[in-house]
């Protein structure tokens, strides 16, 4: 299986970095060989800012030469894995900018005359691994689980990705946050992917 991991956290000595390492360990321990690429948005200095003007139109993002490398990674992958924190009830702006730029019309979806667009990324699956300082159910209680709705319905299902798995880990800054247990949970899941 071709797996693209999109890692979005600026500190490479963090819990999120540990989730990346345990993800990789689980994938490499798997009995079948996976081809794995890691896109580290911060290390890559990915520019999340959308810039539109007369010569650079939003509707042409699908053919922007600056984004070709990233489009090729998504095309290549059968499985997309996103590792990121939840800040203010949503993924970091860096990841949202990546989504804004890459999951564009005529690449990730096609407008139709019907009510819904046609998803062009059918057959792919996605896993989201997210951490947060607050309790795991905090976004659900206060924000009606806006993060999961954003990622699942407004993004993945819209572009044709139907198989989606979420790992949302709260209270991760507390000593009793069970970080090691969560890391091993991710490693085990990846080993059985």
Q: What percent of the chain has pLDDT over 70?
A: 90
Per-residue pLDDT reduced to its tens digit, 28-51: 976 678 999 999 999 999 999 988
CB contact at 8 A, 69 and 117? no
Q: Looking at per-residue confidence, does 57 or 92 come out higher?
A: 92
Three-state SS at 17: helix
Q: What DSSP string runs through 136-166?
A: TTHHHHHHTTHHHHIIIIIIIITTT--EEEE
Rounded CA-CA distance 123/80 in Å is 11
Per-residue pLDDT reduced to its tens digit, 131-177: 887 555 554 444 556 778 888 888 999 999 999 999 988 767 766 65
Give me the mean pLDDT over the 103-129 stretch.
91
pLDDT tier for residue 114 given thresholds of 50, 70 and 90 = confident
- The answer to whether residue 24 scores a pLDDT higher than 60 is yes
CA-wise closest residue to 36 among 85, 82, 79, 98: 79
- The answer to whether residue 66 scores a pLDDT higher than 70 is yes
CB atoms near residue 149 (< 10 Å): 13
**Hey, what domains does the chain have and what are their CATH numbers?**
2-191 (3.40.50.360)
pLDDT at 30: 67
What element of type H or E holds 16? Answer: helix 15-29
- The answer to whether residue 10 scores a pLDDT higher than 60 is yes
Residue 148 burial (C-beta neighbours within 10 Å; 0-12, 13-18, 19+)? middle
Rounded CA-CA distance 90/78 in Å is 25
pLDDT at 142: 47
What is the pTM assigned to this prediction? 0.90
- The answer to whether residue 192 scores a pLDDT higher than 60 is yes
Rounded CA-CA distance 65/157 in Å is 26
Rounded CA-CA distance 187/45 in Å is 27
């Amino acid at each position: 299986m071709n797996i693209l991991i999109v890692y979005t956290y600026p500190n490479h000595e963090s819990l999120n970095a540990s989730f990346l390492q345990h993800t990789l360990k689980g994938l490499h321990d798997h009995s079948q060989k996976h081809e794995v690429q890691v896109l580290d948005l911060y290390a890559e200095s990915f520019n999340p800012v959308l810039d539109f003007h007369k010569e650079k139109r939003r509707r042409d993002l699908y053919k922007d030469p600056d984004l070709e490398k990233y489009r090729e990674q998504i095309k290549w992958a059968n499985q997309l894995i996103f590792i990121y924190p939840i800040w203010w009830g949503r993924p970091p702006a860096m990841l949202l900018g990546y989504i804004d730029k890459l999951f564009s019309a005529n690449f990730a979806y096609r407008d139709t005359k019907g009510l819904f667009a046609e998803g062009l990324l059918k057959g792919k699956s996605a896993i989201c691994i997210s951490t947060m300082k607050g309790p795991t159910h905090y976004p659900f209680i206060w924000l009606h689980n806006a993060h999961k709705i954003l990622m699942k319905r407004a993004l993945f299902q819209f572009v044709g990705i139907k198989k989606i798995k979420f790992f949302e880990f709260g209270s991760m800054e507390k000593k009793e946050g069970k970080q090691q247990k969560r890391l091993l949970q991710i490693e085990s899941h990846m080993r059985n992917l």
